[in-house]
Amino acid sequence: MNNYISENKDRFLSELLDMLRIPSVSADPKFKEDVLRTAEFVKQRLIEAGADNVELCETAGYPIVYGEKIIDPNLPTVIVYGHYDVQPADPYELWNSPPFEPVIKDGNIYARGACDDKGQMYMHVKAFETMMRTNTLTCNVKFMIEGEEEVGSSNLGTFVKENKEKLKGDVILISDTGMLGNDTPSITAGLRGLSYVEVEVTGPNRDLHSGLYGGAVANPINILCQMIASLHDENNRITIPGFYDNVEELSAEERAEMARAPFSLDKYKKALDLGDVHGEAGYVTMERNSIRPTLDVNGIWGGYTGEGAKTVIASKAFAKISMRLVPNQTSEEITEKFQKHFESIAPASVKVLVKPHHGGEPVVTPTDSVAYKAASKAYEETFGVKPIPVRSGGSIPIVAMFKSELGLDSVLMGFGLDSDAIHSPNEHFGVFNYMKGIETIPMFYKHYAEMSK
Amino acid sequence: MNNYISENKDRFLSELLDMLRIPSVSADPKFKEDVLRTAEFVKQRLIEAGADNVELCETAGYPIVYGEKIIDPNLPTVIVYGHYDVQPADPYELWNSPPFEPVIKDGNIYARGACDDKGQMYMHVKAFETMMRTNTLTCNVKFMIEGEEEVGSSNLGTFVKENKEKLKGDVILISDTGMLGNDTPSITAGLRGLSYVEVEVTGPNRDLHSGLYGGAVANPINILCQMIASLHDENNRITIPGFYDNVEELSAEERAEMARAPFSLDKYKKALDLGDVHGEAGYVTMERNSIRPTLDVNGIWGGYTGEGAKTVIASKAFAKISMRLVPNQTSEEITEKFQKHFESIAPASVKVLVKPHHGGEPVVTPTDSVAYKAASKAYEETFGVKPIPVRSGGSIPIVAMFKSELGLDSVLMGFGLDSDAIHSPNEHFGVFNYMKGIETIPMFYKHYAEMSK
C-alpha cells in the first residue's frame, strides 16, 4: 500500500493543486460558478477512485457530493465528511503568491484551502483510491462532501434529516482540524461552538459634516466602540448577563491533565510577534483558546476608510462579532442573550440592529470509543508516537448535528498545524502532512474493522 | 446690476453645472487629472470675467488659481479665497443621482461640491463678472482659489509666505460656510480648529483563526474599540489629559446671547431622525457644536467586512479620528496630547501607531471691523434682515494662517444651509442661495469701499 502511495505522490499532489486553482469561496456569490465546478471536480475524482453511486445532491444552496463503496453489509461503515468550499481570501495583498495559484515552496503547498479543507478532504479521496487499487479496503465507506461549511453548513442539516437511510453507518470520519506538531500528533477530542452575529448601529439618518454636527449628535462609530468595549470587563470576562451560566467548568485534575501538553509561551508569543498574550484572568493560554468561551470582533467598518482625511460623521457603523462556546452553552441561548444585551446597552441616541448568522454547538468526543482507539493506533503506526487527545478552540458545528440526527460520534483525525494560517493570507499545508494523512487514514480503516469485530 | 444677474441666471447656473461635472476629489490620487482640469476651468472663467494676470500658480500639490483686477491703487483690495476641490463622494450608493452628474431638482442643485465649495466659490466669479460688465466694481480684487482645502490646504501656507507682495490687500473674503436659514441670514464670526489623526493597532503578526486563537491573543479590533471608548467619560467629556487646559470658556452673558439664535431641538432631532441628541454634559446642542471641542471617529476598519461570516482575528485595526478645537487650543498641542495619551493606553498585547494628518487652528473673527459691518449691510440689503453673527463648528484652518502670515482678517459670507449635506451623499445648494450670493457679494464691495473711505 505504501508503495502505491509513494509511486503516485506526484499525481496526488498535482490533482490537489488542480482543485486549489478553483476559487470556491462560498461566502461570496460572485464565486458561485467556481464553487459548483469544485463540486463537479470532487465528484469526478470519487468516480475515478472507484466509488459507486456518485452524485451531486442538490440543496437550497451548494450541492453535497455523495459517493459510496459498500463491500459487505456486515462490515462497519465509515462516513467521511469534508468540505470543498473555502474561506474568502482577502486581503489579497498580504499573500506572497496569489491564493488561487497554488505553489509548493519549502515543503508546503500555499493556497487558500490548501489545508482547510480541500487538502485534508482530498487525503480521504486518495486514501480511498489507494485502498481500492491495493485491495485493502476493510470497511464500507460513504462520502459526504459539502460546499457550505465556511458559511455555516446551512443546508447540511436538512440533507442529513432527509437522508437518514442513505447515511446509515457507524462513525463519522473528519479531517478538518489540526494536530500539535509533526512529532507530536494529536486527535481533537472537543470543539467549541459558535454564535455569530452582525450588528448595525445607526446614528443620524445621513452622513454629516463632523465640524457642523460633531459633539452634538451620537457618532455611531464611537457608540459602537463603546458598546463593544463594554462587552468585556477588566478581567476580560464577557459581561453579557448569564453568558457563563451553563459553562462546563473543568476540574483541577482535568486542567492539570491539559497542562501536560507541550506548550511554550515564549515560542507562542514569538511566532505571533506579541508583546504579551491577552485573555480571561485566571486561565492560561491553552485553556483560554479551548475550554473557555470567548467574544471576538471579526470585522468592523464605518465612515470614511479611503486615503486621506474626510471629516464625516457616518450615519451607520457595523461589526461582525462571534462568540466561541464551550460544552453546555448552546448557540441559540448565547445568540439570544447577546441580542437582548446588545439592544439593551444602546443609548437612546442610536438605533441598533442585531442580525444572527449561523451558529454551531460545542462538542466533546469520547476518547474511549472503538473509533477513537482505532484512530489513535493509526497515528501511532505512521508517526511512531501515540497521539495526545486535545480540546480545540475551533468549531465544526455539524459534529453536534451528526450526533443528534444520526446518533453517530465523529472521530477528528486532523493533520494540519496551527501555523498553517487557515483563514489567513498565505494558508498552507505541509506536503509531509498531506502524504502522512493519506498513509494514516487506511490504518484507521484497518484497525476500526479489526476492533469492531 | 440686478438686471444683468437675472438676464444671465441660466448661464450662471449652466457654467456651475459644467464645473460640478468634473470630479475634483483632492483626497484620492485617481482623480488627479480631474482636479487639474477644474483648476484650468476656473482660470478660463476668471479670464472671461475680466480678470488680469490670471495664472495657475504651481505648488508641491495642486495649483492655486490666481487672478486680479486692480482698478485704482488707492482703493481697498479684497482678496477672494475659495477652493475648487471637493470631498470624496462615497458611499456612491446613497446618492439619489450620481454625485458628478449634477441635476436641479426642487430648486436645489444636487452634486458633490454644489455648495462646498464650487457653488459658493463660483458666486464670486459671477459677482465679479457682473461688476465688471456693469461697471460697478468699487474695490481692487485678487482671487486665490486653491485645490487642496479638503486635504488640509497643505501647500497654501507656503504659497502665501512666498507671495506676500502679490497678496497685499485689506481683507480676505470667503464663502465656505453657511447661514442659519434663508429668512435668517447669518455671518460666521468664529470657527473651530482641527486635529486629525489616523491610528493603527496591531495584534498578532497575521490574521488568525478566531476558533484556534480566540480568547488567547489580543484582538486588535476589540482593543481599538476599548481605546476609543475610553476617550470619553460618562459625561461625554474627552479624557485626554490636558485636553481642556486652554479651552476658552464663554461667559454666562455670551452663552445667553448665543441662546437667542433660533433653534428647535425637536426639528433638529426630526431632521436627523434621532431618538435623542448626544454630547457633553452641561452644554446645549448649539454650544456643543460650536464653542466646545469634540472628538469623533470619522472612519474605522479592520477584519472581514465582506458578505457572510468569516471567523478571523485580524492582525490590524484602523481608525481615522478628528478633534474639533476651540479658541486657545492649538492643533499641534492637541495632536501631541492625543498621540501621547493614545500610545500610553495601549496594552502590552498590541502595538500602536498614531499618524497625524493636517491640522488647523480655531479662530474668532471680529464683528466690529469695517469688513464685517460692510458684509452685514450687504446681507441686510438683499435679504431685508440684519444677519446674526454665529460661531460655526466647522474649520477653515487657513483663516488663522491668513491672519498670522498676511495680518489680514477674514469675513465669512456663507450662503449655504446646514441641510445642504456637504460632505454627505446628496450634497446640494439652493438655486436661491446661489443667486442670492451673486447679488449680495457686489453689495459688500460697495459698502466696503464706502466705509473704508
Residues of A belonging to the active site: 85, 149
Q: How far apart are CA A159 and CA A161, in angstroms?
A: 6
Write the residue in A219, A232, A277 that is nearest to B297 by C-beta. A219
Side chain identity at residue B340, one-letter code: K
Chain segment B233-243, per-residue pLDDT in tens: 999 999 999 99
Look at A424 and B216 and tell me if their CB atoms are within 8 Å.
Answer: no
- Judging contacts by C-beta atoms under 8 Å, the chain A residues touching residue B427 are none
Do the Cβ atoms of B208 and A294 come within 8 Å?
Answer: no
The answer to whether residues B79 and B144 touch, using CB atoms and an 8 Å cutoff, is yes
Exposed, middle or buried by CB within 10 Å (0-12, 13-18, 19+), for A270?
A: exposed
Percent of chain B with pLDDT over 70: 100
Q: What are phi and psi of A358, to 5 degrees?
A: -65, 160
CB A343 within 8 A of CB A352: yes
Q: Could you tell me the three cell numbers for B223?
A: 482593543
CA distances from B2 to B6, B46, B134, B366, B382 (A): 6, 20, 10, 30, 11
Distance from CA of A319 to the nearest CA of B (A): 8
Subunit contact B300:A297, Cβ cutoff 8 A: no
Is the predicted ipTM greater than 0.95, yes or no? no
**Is B214's CB within 8 Å of A274's CB?**
no
Residue in chain B closest to A224 (alpha carbons) equals B225
Same fold flag, B2-191+362-452 and B193-247+293-360: no
> A234: how many CB neighbours lie within 10 A of its CB?
6
Residue B395 has pLDDT above 80, yes or no: no
Distance CA B428, CA A3 (A): 75
| Predicted pLDDT at A301 | 98
DSSP-assigned states of every residue in B5-23: HHHTHHHHHHHHHHHHTS-
Q: Tell me how far the alpha carbon of residue A232 is from its chain's centroid.
A: 25
Give backbone dihedrals phi and psi of B244, rounded to 5 degrees, phi first.
-95, 0
Contacts of B308 in chain A (CB under 8 A): 26-28, 88, 151, 357
pLDDT at B388 over 90: no
Q: Are B220 and B202 in contact (CB under 8 A)?
A: yes
B306: pLDDT strictly greater than 90? no
Q: Which three cell numbers mark B60?
A: 508641491
User: B133 vs chain A: nearest CA distance in angstroms?
Assistant: 37
Model pLDDT, residue A359: 82
Cα B419 to Cα A404: distance, rounded to the nearest angstrom: 58
- Residues (pLDDT < 50) of chain A are none
CB contact under 8 A, A219 and B296: yes
B7 catalytic, yes or no? no
Tell me what pLDDT residue B366 has. Answer: 82
Partner-chain contact B277 A204, CB within 8 Å: no
Q: Measure CB to CB from residue A222 to each of B26, B178, B296 and give the nearest one.
A: B296
Query: Angle of helix A431-452 relative to helix A118-133, nearest 10 degrees?
Result: 60
What b/e string do you get for A354-381 counting C-beta neighbours within 10 Å, with b at 16 or more?
A: beebbbbbbbebeeeebbbebbbbbbbe
Contact A209 B289 (CB under 8 A): no
Cis peptide before B117 (omega within 30 of 0): yes
| Set of chain A residues whose Cβ sits within 8 Å of the Cβ of B347 | 276, 278
A357–B324 C-beta distance less than 8 A: no
Given this model, what pLDDT does residue B389 score? Answer: 85
Rounded to 10 degrees, the C-alpha dihedral B197/B198/B204/B205 comes to -120
C-alpha cell at position A22: 478553483
Q: Do residue B296 and residue A310 have CB atoms under 8 angstroms apart?
A: no
Please provide the average confidence, as pLDDT, over all residues in chain B.
95
CA distance B194 to chain A (A): 9
The distance of A438 to chain B (nearest Cα, Å) reads: 24
Closest by alpha carbon to B226, among A297, A242, A314, A213? A297
**A194-247+293-358 under CATH 3.30.70.360, yes or no:** yes
Quick one: DSSP state of residue B86?
B
Q: Which residue of B has its CA nearest to A177?
A: B212
Residue of B nearest to A287 (CA): B216
Q: Do B303 and A305 touch (CB under 8 A)?
A: no
Q: Which of A208, A213, A300 is opposite residue B302, by nearest beta carbon?
A: A300
**Longest distance between any two alpha carbons in chain A, whole Å:** 79
Domain extents for chain B?
A: 2-191+362-452, 193-247+293-360
The yes-or-no verdict on residue B397 having pLDDT over 90 is no
Q: Is B261 exposed, middle or buried (0-12, 13-18, 19+ CB in 10 A)?
A: middle
Residue type at A394 in one-letter notation: G
Inter-chain contact A304–B280, Cβ cutoff 8 Å?
no
Q: How far is A236 from chain B (nearest CA, A)?
A: 9
Measuring CA to CA, which residue among A53, A218, A228, A272 is closest to residue A141?
A53
Chain B nearest CA to A393, separation (Å): 5
Neighboring chain B residues of A213 at a CB cutoff of 8 Å: 289, 393
Which strands, in side-by-side order, build the sheet including A294-303? A351-360, A193-202, A316-325, A294-303, B294-303, B316-325, B193-202, B351-360
Task: For residue B265, give how far its alpha carbon lies from the nearest alpha carbon of chain A (Å).
Answer: 11
Selected for mutation to probe chain A from B192, B231, B310, B352 (highest A CB count within 10 Å) is B310
Residues of B in contact with A87 (CB under 8 A): 310, 312
The span from the CA of A288 to the CA of B215, in Å, is 5
A301: nearest CB among B151, B225, B301: B301
- The answer to whether the CB atoms of A94 and B207 lie below 8 A apart is yes
Cis peptide before A91 (omega within 30 of 0): yes
Tell me the chain A residues in contact with residue B278 when contact means C-beta distances shorter than 8 Å.
216-218, 223, 347, 349
Distance CA B309, CA B324 (A): 36
- Could you tell me which CATH number the domain at B193-247+293-360 has? 3.30.70.360
- Nearest residue, CB atoms, B288 vs list A88, A216, A222: A216
CB-closest option in B208, B313, B320 to A304: B320
pLDDT, residue A262, reads 82
C-alpha span between B311 and B31 (Å, rounded):
36
Nearest CB among B226, B275, B297 relative to A351 is that of: B275
Counting residues of chain B whose pLDDT is more than 90, the rounded percentage is 83
Which residue did the predictor score with more confidence, B248 or B232? B232
| Domain B2-191+362-452 indexed as CATH 3.40.50.150 | no
Q: Work out the end-to-end distance of chain A between its first and last CA atoms, rounded to an integer number of angstroms.
A: 23
